Structure 1
Amino acid sequence: MAIVKFTFEDPNIPPKELEASLGDNISELADDNDIHINHNCGRVCACSTCHVYIEEGEDSLPEISDREEDFIDRALDPRIESRLACQCIIQEDDAVIEVLVPDQTRIIGHEH
C-alpha cells in the first residue's frame, strides 16, 4: 500500500495520513476521506482549482504534462513542486507521497 500524507496551509486543519492503492487519484482520495480540495472542472485538467504542492514522492506520480503545466501557471502561488491533484495518479505501490494543500478559502471554487 502507498501512503499519502496530507498537510494543510490552514493551521486549523490537522494533518491526515491515508493508505492508497496503485492507480488511486490524489484528488479522489482526498474527496473520499473528507479532505477538501476544490475541483471545479470535474477532474479533467481544465482549471487550476485542485492545485497542490507535492513535497515528497513526485517520482511516484506521472510526469507533468504541458497542459497541466499551463493550468498550474494560473494557480495561486505556483512553485516548482506544484501539481494538479486531479492529475496525480499513484504509480508505485510502495509510494510515500506528501501533499501540502493550499488554503482553500483563497481559491474560488465550489463547496463539495
Structure 2
Amino acid sequence: MKRFKYAFAGIKALFEKDFHFAGHLMIALAVTVMGFLFSLNAVEWLFIISAIFIVLITEIINTSLEYTVDLVTADYHELAKYAKDTSALAVLLAASYAVITGLIVFLPKLIELFT
C-alpha cells in the first residue's frame, strides 16, 4: 500500500509543478471520447492508448528531471539547461508521435464522415 501512497503523492507533486500534464490529460480524454464515437478497432485503440501513455509518461519523466535539476542547483548552469531542454524535447517528440498517430487513425474517419 505504501507504493500506492507514494504514487499518489507523485501525482500531487506533478500537478503542483507541471500544468502541462493537465492539458495532456484533457486531450487524452477528448481523444478517448473520439475513439468511442468512431468505434475504433483493437489495433487502432492500441496505437491511440500507446500514444497517450507515451506522452503522459514522458511528461512525468520530464517533470521528475526538472525537480532533480532544481534540487542540485538553483543557479543557472548550462548543463542544467541542457538537461531540461533535452527532456522537454523528449516530450515534444512524444507529443509529435501522438499527433501523427491521431492523424493516421482519425483523419480517414473524419474525411469519410464529411464526404
Structure of larger gyration radius: 2
Higher RCO (CA 8 Å, separation ≥ 6 residues): 1
TM-score with structure 1 setting the length? 0.25
Higher strand share: 1
Higher helix share: 2
